[in-house]
Amino acid sequence: DVKVTQSSRYLVKRTGEKVFLECVQDMDHENMFWYRQDPGLGLRLIYFSYDVKMKEKGDIPEGYSVSREKKERFSLILESASTNQTSMYLCASSNLDRGLSQPQHFGDGTRLSIL
């Protein structure tokens, strides 16, 4: 089974801090994604990556950056945390091969609170 592991289930940080969320997948997937999930809004894509050192902005990239130095690891960085970034963050990965029909595999999420 595909395993996507997020480093923390719960995290509490203060405004202005630099926050790192880590995600590792074990299935050699090319694509990796970071979403935030808020009630009533579903999942919104922050950033995605289709290869090592490659990154693309999603729908809500402001205030975030990402790093993909190794194929299996995709990090989300909150440069200066703010209270409006309190949310559930979900990491996902998918196989690039065979086009659009590949589903995404998700981690269990990190519930981040910014105080």
Partner 1 sequence: AQSVTQLGSHVSVSEGALVLLRCNYSSSVPPYLFWYVQYPNQGLQLLLKYTSAATLVKGINGFEAEFKKSETSFHLTKPSAHMRDAAEYFCAVSVGTGGFKTIFGAGTRLFVKA
Of the two residues 3 and 14, which places its CB atom closer to partner 1 in the complex? 3
Which part of the chain contacts partner 1 (CB under 8 A), choosing from 12-20, 50-58, 62-70, 72-80?
Answer: 50-58
| CA pair distance 111, 114, nearest whole angstrom | 10
Of the two residues 17 and 50, which places its CB atom closer to partner 1 in the complex? 50
Distance in Å, CB of 41 to partner 1, minimum? 6
Of the two residues 71 and 105, which places its CB atom closer to partner 1 in the complex? 105
Instruction: Copy the structure tokens of residue 48.
Output: 């995605």
| CA pair distance 39, 100, nearest whole angstrom | 27
Of 62, 69, 84, 103, which lies in the binding site for partner 1, with binding defined by CB under 8 A? 103
| CA pair distance 102, 32, nearest whole angstrom | 12
Half-sphere exposure of 20 (CA within 13 A, CB side): 8
Backbone angles phi, psi at 101, to 5 degrees: -90, 0
- Residue 77 binds partner 1 (CB under 8 A): no
- Residue 101 binds partner 1 (CB under 8 A): yes
The answer to whether the beta carbons of residues 53 and 68 sit under 8 Å apart is: yes
- Residue 113 binds partner 1 (CB under 8 A): no
Residues in the site for partner 1, rule: CB under 8 A?
A: 4, 9, 31, 35, 40-43, 45, 48, 50, 56, 58, 90, 92, 94-96, 99-109
